Amino acid sequence: MSMSFYTADSLKAELHERGWRLTPQREIILDIFQNLAAGRHLSAEELCELLQKEGHDISLSTIYRTVKLMARMGILRELELAEDHKHYEINQPHHHHHHLICVRCNQTIEFKNDSVLKIGDKTSKKEGYHLLDCQLTIHAVCPACQRSILPV
């Protein structure tokens, strides 16, 4: 699994390894995710608003490019919740969690489970893959929706 904490310098080093550059935008976005409350995740739009609130005008194009880049580097987790857009959060194995989603009302519960990461480690190692992240997504019907007779 990738390292659990990135500084501007370690990000710079890892970018340079691949011939890429550390820009102020990338540094600021990394900083936002580093300082996000545990368990909080942002969509591209939410990240854009948060950046503006803090006085940083970074274009949506750059935001989309940066979170995708960081996800592919293993710095961010790309979460597919039951919505029509992606969420991102910093990738720290210690705070690893997974999602239990109601397919009717989309209510989502986060839960932890240590064996999931072990399965991910074992499986990727066996195939020679370099693990970045693993996510268990459970689709189910929540208690409230089980009681309701309403369609969907």
How many residues make contact with Zn ion (CB under 5 A)? 8
Distances (CA, A) of 90 to 26, 69, 71, 104, 122: 14, 13, 9, 28, 22
Radius of gyration for the chain, computed over Cα atoms and rounded to the nearest angstrom = 17
Q: Does 45 bind a copy of itself (CB under 8 A)?
A: no
- Sequence-distant (6+) residues with CB within 8 A of 62 are 25
Kindly tell me which of 26 and 77 has the beta carbon lying closer to Zn ion. Answer: 77
Q: Does 60 bind a copy of itself (CB under 8 A)?
A: no
The distance of closest approach from Cβ of residue 105 to a copy of itself in the complex, given in angstroms and rounded to an integer, is 11
**Residue whose pair of structure tokens reads 């919740």 in the numeric block:** 81
Q: Does 43 bind DNA (CB under 7 A)?
A: yes
Kindly tell me which of 25 and 124 has the beta carbon lying closer to DNA. Answer: 25
- Sequence-distant (6+) residues with CB within 8 A of 26 are 11, 15, 66, 69, 70
The distance of closest approach from Cβ of residue 135 to Zn ion in the complex, given in angstroms and rounded to an integer, is 9
Kindly tell me which of 23 and 107 has the beta carbon lying closer to DNA. Answer: 23
Q: Does 22 bind Zn ion (CB under 5 A)?
A: no
Q: x/- contact string, 88-107, with a copy of itself (CB under 8 A)? A: ------------x-xxx---
Kindly tell me which of 9 and 84 has the beta carbon lying closer to a copy of itself. Answer: 84
Give the H/E segment covering residue 145. Answer: helix 143-147
Distance CA 150, CA 152 (A): 7
Task: Give the footprint of DNA on this chain (CB under 7 A).
Answer: 12, 15-16, 19-26, 43-45, 57-62, 64-66, 68, 84-86
